Amino acid sequence: MSWDDFAFAFFNLDIIREASPILIQGLVQTILLSLLVVPLGLFGGIVLALLSTVRNPLVRWPLIAWVDVFRALPPLVLLVFVYAGLPFAGLELPAWAAVAIGFFLNTGAYYGEILRAGIESVPRGQMEAARSTGLTRGQAMAYVVLPQAVRNVLPDLISNTLEVVKLTSIASVVALPELLYQARQAQSVTYNASPIVAAAVIYFIMLWPVVRLLSRLENRQLAAARG
Amino acid sequence: MTAWERFADSFFNARVAAEYLPKIIDGFWLTVVLALSIVVSGLAAGLLLALVRSLGVRPLNWLIIFVVDLFRALPPLVIITLLFFGLPAAGMELSGFASTWLALSLVLMAFSEEIFWAGITSVPKGQWEAARSTGLTFLQTLRLVVLPQAIRLTIPPLTNRTIAITKGTALASVVAVQEILGAANAGVSFSFNPTPLTLGALAYLVLFIPVVVFGRWVETRFAWRR
């Protein structure tokens, strides 16, 4: 295969130019979807992490089961179950709502585990000192423990957020017109792979800075753990 | 029929379950084979890249860093789509199984290289120098002194990352592989009943709950106490 054939099949500028309006629409959808599912997952994670500080076994064991089940199920399985399964129970959901529910269950469990580790990394004395100054338990948690917890696990939080943004690509399976879905549409109409290559380039440009940042943070963290 | 009976008839239908269980079990083993081949090739390639990087050849290291960043930034489903739907344009046909295996191996390679490399660099330089000065060769130092310390440090992040990436095998259903989710989807559209999906979800739980619990155990077992 000559270079020209290769460029025609994968880096076809005419086709990319033609597909660019729908690719940009897809990119906008991907960004909007991320802005929906990341806060949703973080919210779920904070609730799970706060519940994990409760010592009562009636809270503790169901919580562990919940987190493990939703960490064990692949996100795509959850999404398909919600989108294709629930209509049989008379619950017909639009694609974006199915994505929101599936992501909430999955990424909430992951954020929850990270934040739980963060809360556990804050010394007990911090909570006790805060309480002794007259703060309520809730205030001490919100103003003293959580800020330190978040700082301690910041690399993991960023890393998980990167994974969540990448994961929005599975919404294409339930025909939500995000970036990958639009690229696939353009590819099947033009019978040329360039739109998919273009989508990959867009993802890379968008996420590379995050990957660089993470790589630095993680190296520093490992070096610190080693002491 | 009460609402509960209708619900049970949809999601826990014994007749449909009996009919599609064999297909789901076939899918289960296919998922296991796919996941294991990804783990083996991904971790081996990642370790190899980290070792090459430790040689310290500048242009080679830049290339490795770029490749690692690339496969950390791209969503796995995009890579699978590119391999499965894109490569035929270059006259190369990859099956759905091969596309998924290759894509997820590359992703695991990238993540594990980064972790192995962080482990290697965390071993103080003095250990290298001391080992070399006792007469060990470069490779002996690597194998007997550096790697044992580096690998211990890398086991918890490596375990978690490997689990997360092997769960991506469900993406193979998008390129028509009859693994668990693929078999379940086919079952739903033939029987017009979601019970195969319930079976599929249970199959994933059977497969991955022990793995997730194992990951949690590894995390506490190998944690460095500060």
What's A15's domain CATH number?
Answer: 1.10.3720.10
Burial class (CB in 10 A: 0-12, 13-18, 19+), A154: middle
Tokens 């559209």 sit at which residue?
Answer: B189
Residue B166 pLDDT > 60, yes or no? Answer: yes
User: Which phi and psi angles does A128 have, rounded to 5°?
Assistant: -65, -45
pLDDT range class, residue B209, cuts 50, 70, 90: very high
Query: Quick one: B33 exposed, middle or buried, by C-beta within 10 A (0-12, 13-18, 19+)?
Result: middle
- Rounded CA-CA distance A76/A79 in Å is 5
- Taken in order A48, A53, A54, A58, the sign of the CA dihedral is positive
Contact A69 B197 (CB under 8 A): no
DSSP annotation of A165: H
- The verdict on a CB contact (< 8 Å) between B118 and A219 is yes
Judged against a pLDDT cut of 50, whether residue A112 lies above it is answered with yes
Distance between A90 CA and the closest CA of chain B, angstroms: 9
- Average of per-residue pLDDT values in chain B: 91
The neighbour count for residue B218, using CB atoms within 10 Å, is 16
Name the average pLDDT for chain A. 92
Q: Answer yes or no: are the C-beta atoms of A215 and B71 closer than 8 Å.
A: no
Residue A216 is predicted with a pLDDT of 86
In chain A, the number of structural domains is: 1
Q: How confident is the model at residue B223 (pLDDT cuts 50, 70, 90)?
A: low
- Write down the pLDDT at residue B29: 96
Q: What is the pLDDT of residues A160-204, one digit of tens each?
A: 999 999 999 999 999 999 999 999 999 999 989 999 999 999 999
CA B223 remoteness from chain centre: 22
Interface test with B, best of A81, A107, A176 (most B CBs within 10 A): A81
Angle at which helix B96-122 crosses helix A194-226, to 10 degrees, equals 30
pLDDT of A1 over the 80 cut: no
Kindly report the nearest CA distance between residue A66 and chain B, in angstroms.
11
pTM of the model: 0.90
Partners of A227 on chain B (C-beta within 8 Å) are 224, 226
- What residue type is assigned to position B208 of the chain? F
A167 close to B (CB below 8 A): yes
pLDDT-wise least confident of A207-216, B28-37, B150-159, B181-190: B150-159
Place of tokens 């103003």: A143
DSSP collapsed to 3 states, B169-197: HHHHHHHCCCCHHHHHHHHHHHHCCCHHH
Minimum-distance CB partner of B153 among A75, A180, A226: A226
CB contact under 8 A, B10 and A88: yes
Give the CATH fold of the B16-221 domain.
Answer: MetI-like fold (1.10.3720)
Minimal CA separation from A42 to chain B, in Å: 18
Residues A72-111: tens digit of each pLDDT:
999 999 999 999 988 888 888 999 999 999 999 999 999 9
B226: confidence class by pLDDT, cuts 50, 70, 90:
very low
First to last CA, chain B: 61
Characterise B181 by phi-psi region: left (phi > 0), alpha (psi -120 to 50), beta (else).
alpha
CB contact burial A6-21 (16+ within 10 A = b; e otherwise):
eebbbebeebbebbee
The DSSP 8-state label assigned to residue A90 in this structure reads T
A156 CB-near residues (< 8 Å, 6+ apart): A114, A117
From the list A76, A163, A227, which residue is nearest B171 (CB)? A76
Q: Closest by alpha carbon to B199, among B16, B3, B29?
A: B16
Closest CB to A89 among B10, B69, B181: B10
Specify the 3-state DSSP secondary structure of A179.
Answer: helix
- Does A192 lie at the interface with B, CB-CB under 8 angstroms? yes
Q: Which helix (H) or strand (E) holds A92?
A: none
Decide if A111 touches B, using CB distance below 8 A: no
- Res A223: pLDDT: 65
Query: Per 3-state DSSP, what percentage of chain A is helix, strand, and coil (rounded to 5)?
Result: 85, 0, 15
Residue A70 lies in domain? 3-226
> Could you give the C-alpha distances from B139 to A61, B61, B114, B128, B142, in angstroms and in order?
48, 19, 20, 11, 5
CB atoms < 10 A from the CB of A151, how many? 12
* Model ipTM value: 0.91
Helices (H), B57-194: 58-73, 76-81, 96-122, 125-133, 138-141, 147-166, 180-191
